[in-house]
Amino acid sequence: MPRLDRSCAALRPDRSWRTRGIGFTACFLWVAALPLLACATDTLTITTQGNGKGAAPCMACHGADGGGMATAGNPRLAGLNATYLQKQLDDFASGARTSPMMQATARALSEDERQALAIYYSKQPIAPALAKPAAPMPAADSVGAVLATRGRWDQQVPACVQCHGPGGVGVGEHFPPLAGQSATYIEAQLRAWRLGTRHNDPLQLMQHLSSVLSEQDIRAVAAWFAAQPLTAKEARP
């Protein structure tokens, strides 16, 4: 490791083999810890204070635990797939997904920062408060439950759970969880696709669905997902 040797030589006064040994060990630990420290500090600092270049502190809107803020319609990030989270940050930055709250922040983050934040939030544990939703469970034959679990084939709407997993727990990097998100947030996204302010779904599956759902359907299906218990374990495809 020539780099390590050079930096150690610079730091180490050349005395006896003993002090040299201690110097080397201390230096090795210092150098080895640097990237870890730098990485952990940057990500945490951005979530609590922003990056000093225009990105706002994430926790102000997504909560200290990444659980989101239901009433404000700010989504939970904790426990979501890292690739999905990074794609959303990239999409805000490119404008494929528009939001007055997120776009300036996403643009002010470097690619490395976006990736580090996505990994950070994907590893955040899900707060116990989110695991048991306060919203009452709609009846199994309600409009929302039927749309979510059976779909509406005369309008070519497949059951939401076919892509989003049983109970909306999410599947892999492409299909985000809906359980653990607030009804306010789910409704807002369905409306955003309908309006075209979110057009980042590669196969335009969500655009089609949203365009045929009525306002009443949107509210009913959002209420159903918001009432689903959230299992920490992601469903496997």
Interface residue list for ligand HEC (CB under 6 A)? 46, 55-56, 58, 60-62, 74-75, 77, 85, 87-89, 99, 101-102, 105, 117, 147, 157-158, 160, 162-164, 174-176, 178, 186, 188-190, 192, 200-201, 205-206, 209, 221
> Cβ of residue 133: shortest distance to ligand HEC, in angstroms?
15
Which of 7, 149 has the CB closer to ligand HEC? 149
> Cβ of residue 34: shortest distance to ligand HEC, in angstroms?
23
Q: Which long-range contacts (CB under 8 A, 24 or more apart) does 93-101 make?
A: 96/198, 96/199, 96/200, 97/192, 97/197, 97/198, 97/199, 97/200, 98/192, 98/197, 98/198, 99/197, 101/61, 101/74
Alpha helices (H) along 50-182: 59-62, 82-94, 103-108, 111-122, 128-131, 143-149, 160-164
At 116, the amino acid letter reads A
Which of 36, 203 has the CB closer to ligand HEC? 203
Which of 62, 194 has the CB closer to ligand HEC? 62
> Cβ of residue 175: shortest distance to ligand HEC, in angstroms?
5
